[in-house]
A and B are shown apart, each in its own frame.
Chain A
């Protein structure tokens, strides 16, 4: 791959992060729950938290207990935010922590105004890691005319392949063809959402593929007996390639870096952690299950602007880009978006109904497309859907609506368990039916 001289430009560069080691847990309620336990008990430590943190539904998977490593990371992050401080240790159970006064304030927000707590978390994460603001700005930079919409392709779903011997890792025509096809499919869906040239893409994927090929197999396997799945390896190579090309220190095809330091801002593991975090903070939306896309569809639901109307946007005053613009979250009021939301919900439901031939369709699929069209977060969607359930049927909208908690067979598969459910009154729902009432 052609090496370009990267130039660090002071003016448009984001500040250096205080920490580059982001905690990879994605369920941010763990933070507020730990604060709560610390407030009730006076102090918390690893052993206590492992017993006390409740079992939870993470996406669609039940997580009964947290791993010690996760709890260490929670404590580390809360410490970085200045919300807890260590107590002098003495009982052999590892260090204990108590709330700071900032931690008490944060807990109060979490308990009474979860939305404000999310905003505070966004500010804190920006302050410590810089990634949230930089990531949104980068999405807008990649595809300005598509409002930051980016497609990160995966190998074509109809590619049938069989496992290979560990040493059989040559970059052949089959891999080349799948790589180009994946890029072409992504561009067919939205030309500007995958702006990488075929040559650059092929080179980057090939380089990543070769790098993965020289690694040793996990476990006790000898390379002569170990096998690998070409699909899994090509998927990893794709991830590495689009991260390297689109989310590196300098934007694609540019030589002015905007993220300080000598290391890339994101690695595949941290990217996998940041996407759900930013989604929970209502800064972006992403889905890996859009019916027209083989890969991840990602777009911001926030924008850096000087000003924005308060009826539709909410500022996070402490998240500024290098030019001093404020991060505005698209947070329309129910009154302001009601008609557009209901109309879009009905239109998307009708499209999916026509495709599947059933009245009840996946609520998650409807959510993904409605959020994409209206550029709203999944949290906002849940809220607006709740309003819609109260609103319909209405004058001018003679539609009846029903949501169900049943999980259809195709929604119970392993990949589907990583999708965020739609919450109505705190209960996950999975199916949506809408019917026109004939008068």
Chain B
């Protein structure tokens, strides 16, 4: 041990007394961060805590539009998720919704959703801001990266490994279906079960890919690294230069990957594109025209396997401003016949995301979060220390947006611990709300849309 503060180790946080014990909670159940981060291990922040019933209608719409099923094999190519909270859009739960849809699809590859008739996958695409995804080739790179991060590429390769005929049945029977990465995706595990990935399995997968039309070089790369997302990222995706993505990226995403998915028996891959405004807003006129034209070419009518097989389905998450910006270009490209962005028929292609109704949504949502952090099962489904009215008022004050409401409740619970409140009621929520600075610039101007009276009285002056 040393006294040098630069060499000390951190304290044992696990042994810190539980500040929330008085309320039968393991921790503050509400998220610290205002945004959903699917990569976080914290269930409050990664979208794991999710109350499905609150967006049941939107979920049905989403399924109707994009998920193939026996009675609806020809699901739409594209659809929109329209955030109708306009300027209050932050924290309405779009990302949590998309994350949840991706999870439920990837959990069983759409087995339950499609009644076992189709094998589908989904990736959640979050464009980079600052104009770094304003060109279509940058969007193509994002698709490839998201397929890798969200295990679409690796899942396809795990399936190819399983279908290769190289892995004996008794080994396949030992595969943990909840943890494919550590079994089918793990070379050491396979090796320990007398399946040689390097000399037997990968060449077999490579042959399957070549047979499906993939070039020998890419088939080798995919079979060697594609089953492991971090390896594939490091050894292939990151290695490709911008010129490569400009010239070859289209072929990779719209020909090679559909060949992979086809070989793996995957019927459809859904692209859940979040925050489309990050792509559209920085685009100039020419970039918008080119981008929308490319959307048509690569998803609708170009000579690509992805188009031919209708491999991809896209959900664009937009709000009215993006709709306004994109609409003329969308029409010019003829995409309104594929998926109208505005006008009467656009309703048939749009999932509308509206703020929640406080009296219906607040209690079930808060209960979901609190149940996750109850250590005492007898307190399950209780809102203690909140009163019912308090959580309803919290959602009212937050304009029906769950994100800001959860932040408000987090602060309220911290205050309750600090000031030893026995209960958190409506008055306390209102008091905390009034002392909070506006969390986003638009809030100030949102409520009173009326004109203030003039400061000068022309008839009265003098």
1/0 contact string of A237-271 vs chain B (CB within 8 Å): 00000000000000000000000000000000000
Of B327, B444, B449, B451, which contacts A354 at CB under 8 A? B444
A292 touches B458 (CB 8 A): no
Of B323, B449, B452, B461, which contacts A312 at CB under 8 A? B461
In the assembly, what is the distance between CA of A149 and CA of B445, in Å? 21
A210: interface (CB < 8 Å): no
| Total A-B residue contacts, Cβ distance less than 8 Å | 75
| Residue from A160, A162, A188, A308 whose CB has the most chain B CB atoms within 10 Å | A160
B442 touches A355 (CB 8 A): yes
Within 8 A of A (CB), among B310-329: 320, 323, 327
In the assembly, what is the distance between CA of A101 and CA of B346, in Å? 67
B43: interface (CB < 8 Å): no
Q: Which residues of B contact A188 (CB under 8 A)?
A: 449-450
B445 touches A312 (CB 8 A): no
| Residue from B442, B449, B456 whose CB has the most chain A CB atoms within 10 Å | B456
Within 8 A of A (CB), among B131-168: none
Q: Which of chain B's residues has its CB closest to A350's CB?
A: B444
CB of B453, distance to nearest CB on chain A (Å): 8
B438 touches A308 (CB 8 A): no
B445 touches A308 (CB 8 A): no
Q: Interface residues of A, CB < 8 Å — how many?
A: 38
Q: How large is the interface on B (under 10, 10 to 19, 20 to 34, 35 or more residues)?
A: 20 to 34
CB of A86, distance to nearest CB on chain B (Å): 42
Q: Which of chain A's residues has its CB closest to B445's CB?
A: A355
Within 8 A of B (CB), among A283-305: 292-293, 300-303, 305
In the assembly, what is the distance between CA of A376 and CA of B456, in Å? 9
In the assembly, what is the distance between CA of A189 and CA of B440, in Å? 23
**Chain A interface, DSSP helix/strand/loop, else mixed:** mixed
In the assembly, what is the distance between CA of A158 and CA of B342, in Å? 9
In the assembly, what is the distance between CA of A162 and CA of B343, in Å? 7
Within 8 A of B (CB), among A327-364: 328, 330, 340, 344, 351, 353-357
B11: interface (CB < 8 Å): no
B39: interface (CB < 8 Å): no
In the assembly, what is the distance between CA of A372 and CA of B450, in Å? 13
B456 touches A330 (CB 8 A): yes
A190: interface (CB < 8 Å): yes
In the assembly, what is the distance between CA of A293 and CA of B440, in Å? 22
B456 touches A303 (CB 8 A): no
In the assembly, what is the distance between CA of A373 and CA of B456, in Å? 7
CB of B436, distance to nearest CB on chain A (Å): 15
Q: Which of chain B's residues has its CB closest to A332's CB?
A: B456
Q: Which residues of A contact B452 (CB under 8 A)?
A: 373
Known contacts A158-B320, A312-B462, A372-B451: A354-B456 contact under CB 8 Å: no
Q: Which residues of A contact B456 (CB under 8 A)?
A: 330, 373-376
A189 touches B459 (CB 8 A): no
Q: Which residues of B contact A162 (CB under 8 A)?
A: 343
In the assembly, what is the distance between CA of A357 and CA of B440, in Å? 8
Q: Which residues of A contact B449 (CB under 8 A)?
A: 188-189, 292
B418: interface (CB < 8 Å): no
In the assembly, what is the distance between CA of A184 and CA of B297, in Å? 43
Known contacts A158-B320, A160-B342: A354-B458 contact under CB 8 Å: no
A215: interface (CB < 8 Å): no
Given contacts A147-B459, A328-B458, A357-B441, 7 further A-B contacts (CB under 8 A): A158-B320, A160-B323, A301-B458, A307-B462, A309-B462, A354-B441, A374-B455
User: Which B positions have Cβ atoms within 8 angstroms of A?
Assistant: 320, 323, 327, 342-344, 346, 438, 440-442, 444-445, 449-452, 454-459, 461-462
| For the complex of A and B, 9 pairs with smallest distance between CB atoms | A160-B342, A309-B462, A357-B441, A354-B444, A375-B456, A303-B458, A355-B445, A373-B455, A354-B441
- A/B interface sample: 29 pairs, CB < 8 A: A147-B454, A147-B457, A147-B459, A149-B451, A162-B343, A174-B344, A188-B449, A188-B450, A189-B450, A190-B450, A190-B451, A292-B449, A292-B450, A292-B451, A300-B458, A301-B458, A305-B459, A308-B461, A308-B462, A312-B461, A351-B444, A354-B438, A354-B441, A354-B442, A355-B444, A356-B441, A373-B452, A373-B455, A374-B456
